Amino acid sequence: MSKLRQAVPVLAVLGIFILLGYPLALVFGLPLAWRDMQDLRKWEKETVTAQPLADVSDRQTLRFDEGFESGVLVYQGEPLAATYTQDGATVMLETPLETVVMWGATLTPVGASEHVYTVGEAVDAEDPFRAVYVGDRLMREGSSPPLQLPDGQRTDFTFRSPDGPILVDDALIPRDAYQTDGANVIFADAPPFGSNVRRITGDYAVLDASDGSFYVVTPPQAEIRLAADVIRLAEQLQPVSGDPHRYRFGREKVFDNDRERLLYVNDMPLVDQNERPAERVDGERREFLFPSERGIVTIDSVVMAEGQSYTRDGTLVRFVDPPVRNARVRQHTDYYLTNPDAGTVLLAEPPASDAVVWTSRYTVYGEPGCGPNVMACFLALPQHPVPFPHWIAASAVPFVQKFPLADERNIVRATLYTTLGTLAALGLGGAIGILLAIAFVLFRPLERALLPWVVASQTVPIIALVPVLLLILGNFGITIQTSLLPTAIIGAYIAFFPVVVGTVKGLRSVDPLSLDLMKTYAASQLQVFVKVRFPAAVPFFFTSLKLGVAAALVGALVAETESNNRRGLGFAIIGQVQSGNVADVWILLIISALLGIGLVALVDLAQRVIAPWERT
């Protein structure tokens, strides 16, 4: 009962500390999540394409999936000459069109499956202009990857969409091979490292582009046809007021080196030919020859104004001031994306006032790769500095089972190896400590000479000596891979210190009257040591040994981090740190701490057995 009462506050404080893990995880994780969220390089990329017609049956009121702020109808690569009014995704034509679609191949079912169809020939897997119709209705293609990357171990993934079939490397995963509660999916078997995991979010997905096979989510009621071409709603670029050269995309954060971007002025495609000058930029040269006669000239991505910064004479560009040495001097033939973040583009030639500047395809950054909000990014962090405590608890079992007992990386074997190293270090350090202490007590001048330097020895950072020590021992053929000796020496270096200090104190702790008593017996020096000094020093010795065992453990762990023999907790810690598995590092920390406590308890037990006279 009283034991229980003692345990209550301890458990309560332990509970508080565990709970403290949650705010701490947020405190340390949220800034990292925020940073990840802001990192444009990790954002999802999204390609904006001219929308195909959603329903090809109506040839006057055209409906599309989503509209553009200002759309333009295009067919066969040029804006339609017809007059129409646009209202979002709906376009009303004044007069109905004769044809809105040109049909291509018809899809045939594969085998007995209701879901898999084939074109019969290879298709472009990434073709943004593909349009597939069931009867007259457009089918939407779509799939999205999970927030987490498959690492070969992870089985739980979070998807943006709450439902849909799941593909791994274009192979459909049977419904009984995973569990799902909406966005979260737990696989029975972890998807392989680097595999392409996605969830179908649209009506179909391309399974295998090489034989043109498609997966259709809902079994179709009508014929499936590919459109060779179809009326599309494309985006018209808006002029930036006051500058006839400058236009703006409908979306911001445009992908700056997008090879698929297609801009048109009426039916004329524009090319961003990135031309280099013929001459080297040496810091003195002003005149440079380019392949074409027109274009936007930039130095280190800064647009130069013609007439002010340079003058043009055909293909020759003459700068007023010579560009600095090794500056990037370029000419962009048709247009230049001046500000990707704002989505503004600069045209080399101002188009005619009635010309339509439009785009059939360009890529923008969609949303942060880790998720739509900072909490999602937090949950998707690949490495949490402080994981949620229940995550640590959850990874305990897989961590223990990760390596079989036959593998030297098995956690039980690693713990045993470290225990051995610690005990070896403690044995060596303890022996050195006792011998030094006896020498100090027997011969006081030796203590005066050496004790200050014994203290100073502990200011030497032991980890710095590890490489030196390994090199020296290596010369004698002793390596940390094969022998416990280096570990023992390194641990002993820090473990001997408390033993020396404690044992000297213990040997000196003898009450002077006890020594007088021995003198009245005319006892020899040896008898004084055996009968009085040693027993009196025993409690001090064990107290110092408890400090020493903790030190020896630190030494052993340090030595193991510098070794690559795959043994011991120190190696395991460094290994998990390097693979970024922080939850496992925390488990190893807890194991190490428990090992430390256990070894101290072991010393305590030895003390009870060897020195039973001490009152408790």
Residues numbered 452-481 forming contacts with other proteins, rule: CB under 8 A:
452-453, 456, 458-465, 467-468, 471-472, 475
- Of 337-396, binders to other proteins (CB under 8 A) are 383-386
Taking the complex as a whole, the smallest distance from the CB of residue 436 to other proteins amounts, in Å, to 14
Rounded to a whole number of angstroms, the minimum distance from the CB of residue 472 to other proteins is 7
Quickly tell me which residue has 């649209």 as its tokens.
202
What minimum distance in Å lies between the beta carbon of 394 and other proteins?
18
Separation of alpha carbons 608 and 616, rounded Å: 10
Smaller CB separation from other proteins, 162 or 467: 467
The span from the CA of 402 to the CA of 573, in Å, is 14
Q: Which two tokens stand for residue 114?
A: 């209701």
Among the listed residues 435, 117, 48, 94, the one whose alpha carbon sits nearest the alpha carbon of residue 258 = 48
Minimum CB separation from other proteins for residue 3, in Å? 12
From 448, 481, 579, 608, residue interacting with other proteins (rule: CB under 8 A): 448
Nearer to other proteins, 92 or 611 (CB): 611
Which residues are registered as beta bridge partners of 103? 227
Nearer to other proteins, 39 or 282 (CB): 39
Q: Does 296 bind other proteins (CB under 8 A)?
A: no
Residues 516-555, one symbol each (x = binds other proteins by CB under 8 A, - = not), give xxxxxxxx---x---xx--xx-x-----------x--xx-
* Cα–chain center distance at 363: 24
Q: If you count them, how many residues does the chain have?
A: 616
Output 111 or 445, the one with its CB closest to other proteins: 445
Q: Cα(388)–Cα(19) distance, rounded to whole angstroms? A: 9
Q: Which is nearer to other proteins, 6 or 108 (CB)?
A: 6
Q: List all residues 6 or more positions away from 60 whose beta carbon is below 8 Å from its beta carbon.
A: 92, 93, 95, 96, 97
Q: Which stretch binds other proteins (CB under 8 A): 48-56, 221-229, 261-269, 571-579?
A: 571-579
Closest CA to 251 of 52, 128, 70: 70
Our CB check for other proteins shows the closer of 242 and 445 to be 445
What's the closest the beta carbon of residue 389 comes to other proteins, in angstroms?
A: 14
Which parts of 387-446 interact with other proteins (CB under 8 A)? 445-446
Amino acid of residue 67: G
Q: Which residue type occupies 466?
A: V
* Beta carbon of residue 561, minimum distance to other proteins (angstroms, whole number): 6
**By the rule CB under 8 A, 514 interacts with other proteins:** yes
For the record, the structure tokens of 334 come out as 């048709």
The site for other proteins, by CB under 8 A, has a size of 80
Question: In this structure, are residues 567 and 486 in contact, taking their beta carbons and an 8 Å threshold?
Answer: no
CB 452 within 8 A of CB 591: no
Query: Rg (Cα) of the chain, in Å, rounded?
Result: 38
Which lies closer to other proteins via its Cβ, residue 126 or residue 614?
614
Q: Which of 509, 504, 503 is nearest to 543 (CA)?
A: 503
Contact 250, 68 (CB under 8 A): yes
- Closer by beta carbon to other proteins, 161 or else 383: 383
CA 285 to chain centre: 46
Q: Which stretch binds other proteins (CB under 8 A): 51-59, 230-238, 250-258, 507-515?
A: 507-515
Site for other proteins (CB under 8 A): which residue of 558, 563, 567, 581? 558
Q: What are phi and psi of 310, to 5 degrees?
A: -150, 160
Q: Which is nearer to other proteins, 284 or 613 (CB)?
A: 613
Q: Per-residue x/- marks for other proteins, 579-608, CB under 8 A? A: ---x--xx-xxx-xxxxxx--x--------
Residue 386 Cβ vs other proteins, minimum distance, rounded to whole Å: 6
Check residue 22 for interaction with other proteins (CB under 8 A): no
Q: Name the DSSP class of 164.
A: -
Question: 68 in the Ramachandran plot: left (φ > 0), alpha (ψ -120 to 50) or beta?
Answer: beta
| Least Å from the CB of residue 594 to other proteins | 8
Which is nearer to other proteins, 17 or 193 (by Cβ)? 17
Asked whether position 570 contacts other proteins by CB under 8 A, the answer is yes
| Nearest to other proteins of 87, 476 (CB atom) | 476
Q: How far is the CB of 483 from other proteins (least distance, A)?
A: 19
CA nearest neighbour of 157 among 196, 183, 195: 183
Please identify, using beta-carbon distances, which residue of 544 and 561 lies nearer to other proteins.
561
Tell me how far, at minimum, the Cβ of 157 lies from other proteins, in Å: 23
Nearest distance in Å: CB 72, other proteins: 49
Picking from 583, 605, 590, 107, the residue whose alpha carbon sits closest to that of residue 386 is 583
Residue 123 or 588 having the CB closest to other proteins: 588
Residue 26 CB, nearest approach to other proteins (Å): 12
Instruction: Name, in order, each residue with C-beta under 8 angstroms of 469's C-beta and a sequence gap of 6 or more.
Output: 486, 489, 490
Closer Cβ to other proteins, 16 or 81, answer by number: 16
Query: What does DSSP say about strands 232-236 and 357-365: parallel, antiparallel, or unpaired?
Result: antiparallel
- Relative orientation angle of helices 485-508 and 444-457, to the nearest 10 degrees: 130
H-run or E-run covering 207: strand 204-208
User: Per-residue string for binding with other proteins, 52-81, x by CB under 8 A?
Assistant: ------------------------------
Least separation in angstroms between CB 597 and other proteins: 5
Q: Which of 20, 393, 449, 605 binds other proteins (CB under 8 A)?
A: 449
- Strand pairing class (213-216; 204-208): antiparallel
Q: Quick one: DSSP state of residue 537?
A: H
Matching residue, tokens 């972890």: 190
Chain positions 165 to 224 lying near other proteins, rule: CB under 8 A, are none
Distance of CA 478 to the CA centre of its chain: 39
Instruction: Answer yes or no whether residue 611 interacts with other proteins by CB under 8 A.
Output: yes
For residues 5 and 259, which CB has a smaller minimum distance to other proteins in the complex?
5
Distance CA 36, CA 242 (A): 38
H-helix or E-strand containing 239?
A: strand 238-239
Q: Is 82 helix (H, G, I), strand (E, B) or coil?
A: coil
